[in-house]
Amino acid sequence: MKLLSISLAALSLSAAALADQGGSELSSILQAMAERMSSIKTVRVSGEWTVEVGGGEGYETNLPVSIVFQRPDRMRFQSGDTMFVANGSNVWLRPPMKKPYLCKARKGTVVDALADDDVSPFLFLMPDKRALVSADPLKELNAFSSKAEITVLEAGRLDGHPCWIGTTRLKIGSIPGKEAEFTVFVDKECGLVRRAEQVVGRPPAVAEDQADNDRLQNMKYTYVLSEIVVNGEVSDEDFRFDPGEDESRVEGFIVPTARGDADQSTIPGEPSPDFEEKRFKKIWEHKMENVAGDSGGRATIRIPPEYIVVRSGDQLNVFEARSGTPRPSIASSAEVKEKVEEARFFYTEAANGPLVVAVQAFDHSKDAFVTYIGETGEEVWSLLVDESMHVREAGIVPTGRDQDALFMIVCPNEFWLFDLEGKEVLRQKIGRQDDFMVTDLDGDGSAEFYVIGGAVTCYDLAPENPAEQ
C-alpha cells in the first residue's frame, strides 16, 4: 500500500519536467504547453506507474492511472482503488482502502476541490494535470517552475510523438527517500507528460537515518502514458460515482484541520477548545497560567487491557488478561495477515461477536491502518490514515454502559471515536500543544478524558450514548 501511495506522490513530477527558473527556451516551452492545455475541452488519458524495488529480494509494483476531464469542472481520476470524481456539483473520493467514501458539495474550482483537506492527503494532483484543469494553465506552470530544478535537454520523439525532453530532480512524496532525478518527455501536441523515468545510476537522496536502507536506495520509478484522447466524446457516465453495497458515506476523513502551525496551536496559558456538552460532561477544571515545560502534545490511552492478543503465524490468540483463560483464536485470512504484519492488536466482545482491532501506526514515515477483524478472520472494516496525520495514539475506550466499546484515534489537534462497525461517533478538537490522556481512574468501566494545557480539565462521556447523538 505504501509503495502505491508513494507512486501517486511521485506523479507530481509530471508537469514541471521543463520548469527552470530562467531561460527564454524554457519560457517559450511553458507558454506553448499552456496554449496546448487551454485548447483542450475534453481529454481522456490512461497510463501506468511502475515501482521497481531492488536490494535483497527485489520486486516490481504496477499501478494503473486514468483521468477523464471536461472543462471547466468535471473530472474523474482513478489509480488502483483510489477514485476522485467531480461532476460539476459534487465531489466524491474513495481512498486507497475502500469501504468509506466521501461525498460533499463542490466549492470553488476543481483545483480547489483537489486541495480540500479531506481529499489532498489521498490524492496528489500532478503539476501538468493541475495546470490542465485550472483556469490559467500558464500561471500554474510558472508557479511550479519557480520551485523546480530543471534542465531542458532537447526536442525529440517518443513512440512517434514529438516531445520536449528535460530532466528534473524533485521530491518523491514524503517518504525517507527525499528526491530523485527524472527524465521527462512532454508531448508537444497537448502539453502533457507522456513518460517520466528515474535516471539510472542516480539513487534518491535519503535522510541520514535511512542511509543504509537498501530498498530505498534501489527504488526506480517509471511513468508511461499509453493513451491520450484530446477533445473526444465524454458522457455523464464518465463522471458518475457508484458506491458498492458495503461502502458507507462519511462527511470527512481523518485529516488535519489546518496546515499552518501558528493558527492551529494552543499556546500554554490559553484555553483549550471546549468539549461538546452533548457528548461530554465536564467533571472538574483548574485554570492555569504560565504553564512550565515543553510544548506538550503527548497523548496516552491508559486503559488496562481485558484481553491480550498474540499473533502466531496466521492465528490471533486471545487470552483473558486477569486469569490467562484462552478465548477462541481467530485464523486471519491471507489478505488480513499481510496487512497487519506489524500491527498492534486489541480485542473486544462486540454485540455482533468477537472483534480484533489491528492498528499499524506510530511510525510517522508510514501511513497508518486500522483494520477490524471478525471472528471468521476476514476484514470487517478498514481505515487508511495518511502519514501526514501523525497518529499519536490509538486504542479501545470503554463506555461503562451496556453498549459496545469505542475505538479511538488521536492526532495532533483532534481525536475521533468510532463504533465497532466502523461508524464515526464523534470528532473532537484538542489543543495542538496540549497533553491528552484517556484512562479509567475511578474504575467504573467508563473512560475519563484529561486535557492538560492552559487548564487541567477532566471530562467523562455524557450520560447519553454518543452513538445515539
Residues 339 and 284 in one domain: yes
The answer on pLDDT for 178 being more than 60 is: no
Q: pLDDT tens for residues 423-467? A: 888 888 887 678 889 998 877 888 899 988 778 889 988 655 444
Residues 403, 322 within the same domain: yes
CATH of the domain at 213: 2.50.20.10
The answer to whether residue 324 is domain-embedded is yes
With a cut of 90, say whether residue 31 has pLDDT above it.
yes
In a domain, 270, yes or no: no
> Which residue type occupies 89?
S
**Maximum distance among all alpha carbons in the chain?**
77
> Among 397, 379, 403, 398, which Cα is nearest to 330's?
379
Within a domain: residue 446? yes
| Region 32-61 average pLDDT | 84
What is the average pLDDT value for the chain, to the nearest integer?
76
What is the share, in percent, of the chain residues with pLDDT greater than 90? 20
Per-residue model confidence (pLDDT) at position 253: 59
Residue 45: pLDDT band (50, 70, 90) is very high
> Per residue in 266-277, pLDDT tens?
223 344 567 777
Whether the pTM exceeds 0.75: the reply is no
Which sign, positive or negative, has the C-alpha torsion 277, 281, 287, 291?
negative
Q: Look at residue 226 and tell me if it is in a domain.
A: yes
Residues 40, 114 share a domain? yes
356: which 3 cell numbers? 480484533
CB atoms within 10 A of CB 67: 23
Pair 232, 308 in one domain: no
Asked if 122 and 216 sit in the same domain, the reply is: yes
Of the residues 209, 234, 250, which one is the last residue of a structural domain?
A: 250
Residue 113: inside a domain: yes
How confident is the model over 259-313, as pLDDT tens digits?
333 233 222 334 456 777 778 888 998 887 665 544 456 788 888 888 999 988 8
Same domain, 243 and 315: no
- Inter-CA distances, 86 with 111, 235, 267, 440, Å: 11, 13, 39, 45
The C-alpha cell that represents 432 in the structure block: 495542538
User: Which domain range does residue 182 map to?
Assistant: 2-250
Provide the grid cell at 267.
499556546
In a domain, 312, yes or no: yes
Residues 193 and 122 both lie in one domain: yes
- Model confidence at 251, pLDDT cuts 50, 70, 90, reads low
Query: What total of structural domains would you count in the chain?
Result: 2
Q: Are residues 246 and 295 in the same domain?
A: no
Is residue 218 in a domain? yes
Confidence check: pLDDT of 203 > 70:
no
The residue ranking higher by pLDDT, 294 or 197, is: 197
In a domain, 83, yes or no: yes
